[in-house]
Amino acid sequence: MSGFWRRCRELFQRWQVDRESVLELEQHVALAAADKMRAGVGEREARRQATLELGSIEVVRERLAEGRSGFMMEQLMKEIAYAWRVLRRAPGPTALSVATIGVGIAVSTVLFALIDGVVLRPLPYPDPSQLVGISDTNVALGVDRTGVATGNIDDWRRESASFDGIAGYYSMGRTLSADTDADVVLTAQVSADFFPLLRVTPLVGRTFTETETLAAQFSSASAPVGTDPVVIIGHDLWQQRFGGDPGIVGRSLSLERRPFRVVGVMPPGFALPEAGVQAWIPWDLSGERPRDQHYLGAIGRLRPDVSVGQADQELNRVAATLGRLYPETNEGWGVRVSPLAEVVVGDSARVLWILFAAVGLVLLVACANVALLSVMRGLDRSVENALRLALGSTPGRLLRQSWIESLVLAALGGAVGLALAVGGMRLTPSLVPDFPRLDEVALSGRVLWFAIGVTTATAVLSGLLPAWRGAHTEPARGLRGASTRTTGTARQHGIRDGLVVCQVALALVLLCGSGLLVRSFLALRAADPGFNPAGVLVAPIFLDSQAYPTGEQSRAYYEALFTRLEALPGVRAVGGATTLPTSPLGPDFDRPVWPEGTPDERDRIPAAVRMVTPGYFQALRFTIAAGRPFDARDHSEAPPVVMVSQTLANRLWPGQSAVGRNLVVDYSTTGTYPYEVVGVVGDVRFRGPRSEPRAEIYLPHAQRPYLIMLVAIRSDGDPRALIPAVRATLRDIDPQKPAFGLTPLKDLVDATTVQDQQAMVALLAFAAAAVFLAMLGVYGVLSARVRERHQEIGVRMALGADRSQLVGWVALGGFRLLGWGALVGLLATWPLSGLLASFLYGVRPTDPITAISVFGLLFVVGGVAMCLPSWRATTVDPVTVLRRG
């Protein structure tokens, strides 16, 4: 407690404490003087002697203040207040700096929040680093990642020691109805160890028991047939359809017209095996299953001491063994084990990191701009600095003052930036709606620290040069400068020009990057997918085996549907296929095929199977490369026929005609027999422009009816206009099969390049910002140059220089800055654009057209930035200058 109150007074009553000291000191001197007067000295002399003996009150007062608590803080506050006054003297440049830093910090903070939520933060499940996604791969067939074959999972579990568990799943839309409303809900059927492996407990109720799983038999992957089926529902579904009913457990709902008993509700945010799943049903995967049907999703939990790489190696050894044991199904098939977080996030991570790097560059340009403004402010103040040095201020003090100015600027910018970031974060979900894990993006403590870190870094970077420069003022030169009206030394101008060159270089790097992305995006959009999506509406139909147990019944449903749809006004063609290009819905599976009479089983080629109706090729405007499309001749009683993709035809019968040959398709459930090839379909890029054409076979739906069908409706106008009519038609035919997922095919096709679009738009915006800032720099430096050389210009004009010479002089300086910047930028772009390589389509990172157009753009914009300074140079009035000179 001792001395505590004294310290408090020093902190909070500084002014009174100081006043009391002054009073006390004056009294002291007065008393001393009084003593001297008593000894006979005159009043003035006594006071003089006392002051001489005791020392100056002012000096003591300062010494006292320095010793008191909070002195450093007070000093800092004074300096900050001074910096604020200095900054306010130039409101324009200050506002510009604050806005520049603010926007830079806001954008980088929002991006960091995205990266933090989407990429960096572990998945919200227990021990997430042990969770992996597993997919099959086949290098020889060019299959990078595909579903896992059901038959292999049991062997994996038995033979590998790396896993605590491996679970399989398959998700698809199923019609769910409670009471009267029917709706399609993304439903995952999951193997027994799915929930135990994730170690997630339901919010309400429980997960599946072993008995429940064993009872859950499926006649095919899409048709559950077990007794007393059970279901777990998602939090959103529970809230929306059941009003969060606490007594939900035990209630019954109907999935595909079969009653399912609800046993649990998952917590909010549970998004496995994929985002959007709102219902889980058990699936007994044990027992004999085919090893050549790669459609199963698989996740695994590693044992605590096993790395992803080790698990991958071990599982591949197991897969190789299986390949030797079952060569006809497993040869050549390997496995890919990757962290589940990577599987969930996918390519979004790459986009984010590239944008993050880009925004870092923009922030650097912004720092350079702020530094430039500070340096120029410093030049304006070199006389003041010189004076302060001459009067005894130290370079250290000037340096600190300059730092504090940068700090104040950065702090203001940081505050603005944080406010903008908070607003920007609200907007983010609507800007990038298809990003994974968006609900996990938040203004967390980590994001806040990042913002503070960026602000500090900005202060340091933007304050470094000005501070260094300010501290190196030479008093004599500075003071002389005041009288001769020239400002700055060659070195100081070097710094200024260097900053602008850096800015131009950074802007050029960003321009090149975004230019490449633009070219790549245009190439993606121009790529021929092999079909024409314009004007096509896609209606996914998922019939259930409950109401449509036989092929006859589903055929009848589709026949009725097609007749009704074709009769709608504006409809040109209607066709259906089990899966459509670029649609994530519908089964996309492979079957081994081979020309009849092939001796070696190993020459079998896996081909993607599509069951299609005759109108399909017309509805999507496929090319028929040879032969004929399916038609009424290919009915259920007719001999079996097939159409093959160009790629498959070329592989099976290179250089020969495929039409008329017999192709054997191994369709496990119905046996193996030959089909006559009646036509060859032009190649299709099934998963978007980046995907390679595949080996595909088309079978007529009439001969091979299927419950699932994606119906394509081609109309004259906007396919969206058809939505109400299609909805009504579907409800009319079967009220328990409502419409869902009605989407224009164009939207699905565009979605395959949406990340390219996002990256391009964002990078373009960043590049535009960087160019704008760099041009501000060019403009600022040239303007300053004209201002400083006012007198020289005046003299030149008086000596007969004409305006074009003056404009030339300014422009030459400007183009020199641009030229150097472009050169440095180009050298920097070379290694950096390599980072974009994996992103580019149809354009090389060293694309000359991009480089040339970017150069052209830079110089055109640069020319605009030079206009005003050039014009100013021509308006100098020689008479005024000379008279003032």
* Interface with other proteins (CB under 8 A): 1-4, 6-7, 10, 20-21, 24-25, 27-29, 31-32, 53-55, 57, 59-60, 63-64, 67-69
Give whichever of 31 and 812 is closer to other proteins, judged by the CB atom: 31
Q: In the bound complex, what is the minimum distance in angstroms from residue 50's beta carbon to other proteins? A: 10
d(CA 14, CA 508): 54
Residues 6+ apart with CB under 8 A from 273: 169, 171, 188, 190, 194, 297, 299
Give whichever of 67 and 597 is closer to other proteins, judged by the CB atom: 67
Q: In the bound complex, what is the minimum distance in angstroms from residue 72's beta carbon to other proteins? A: 15
Return the SS3 of 169.
Answer: strand
Q: In the bound complex, what is the minimum distance in angstroms from residue 2's beta carbon to other proteins? A: 2
Give whichever of 29 and 465 is closer to other proteins, judged by the CB atom: 29
Q: In the bound complex, what is the minimum distance in angstroms from residue 53's beta carbon to other proteins? A: 7
| DSSP-assigned states of every residue in 624-677 | EEEE----TTS-TTSPPEEEEEHHHHHHHSTTS--TT-EEEEEETTTEEEEEEE
Residue at 607: amino acid letter: A
Give whichever of 58 and 718 is closer to other proteins, judged by the CB atom: 58
d(CA 22, CA 16): 10
Q: Which two tokens stand for residue 198?
A: 């994730």
Give whichever of 64 and 383 is closer to other proteins, judged by the CB atom: 64
d(CA 147, CA 133): 11
d(CA 267, CA 262): 15
Residues 6+ apart with CB under 8 A from 405: 83, 86, 87, 374, 463, 466
d(CA 611, CA 589): 11
Residues 6+ apart with CB under 8 A from 306: 162, 163
Q: Which of 751, 690, 257, 277 is nearest to 538 (CA)?
A: 751
Q: In the bound complex, what is the minimum distance in angstroms from residue 5's beta carbon to other proteins? A: 9
Residue showing tokens 């030479």: 474
Residue 570, number of CB atoms within 10 A of its CB: 15
Q: In the bound complex, what is the minimum distance in angstroms from residue 391's beta carbon to other proteins? A: 23
Q: Which two tokens stand for residue 385?
A: 């600095």
Give whichever of 22 and 795 is closer to other proteins, judged by the CB atom: 22
Kind of pairing, strands 230-233 and 163-178? unpaired
| DSSP-assigned states of every residue in 821-884 | HHHHHHHHHHHHHGGGGGG-SSS-TT-HHHHHHHHHHHHHHHHHHHHHHHHHHHT--HHHHHHH
Give whichever of 13 and 239 is closer to other proteins, judged by the CB atom: 13
Give whichever of 3 and 92 is closer to other proteins, judged by the CB atom: 3
Q: In the bound complex, what is the minimum distance in angstroms from residue 397's beta carbon to other proteins? A: 23
Give me the helices (H) in 68-204, please: 71-89, 91-115, 153-159, 194-198
Give whichever of 6 and 633 is closer to other proteins, judged by the CB atom: 6
DSSP, res 802: -
Give whichever of 20 and 434 is closer to other proteins, judged by the CB atom: 20
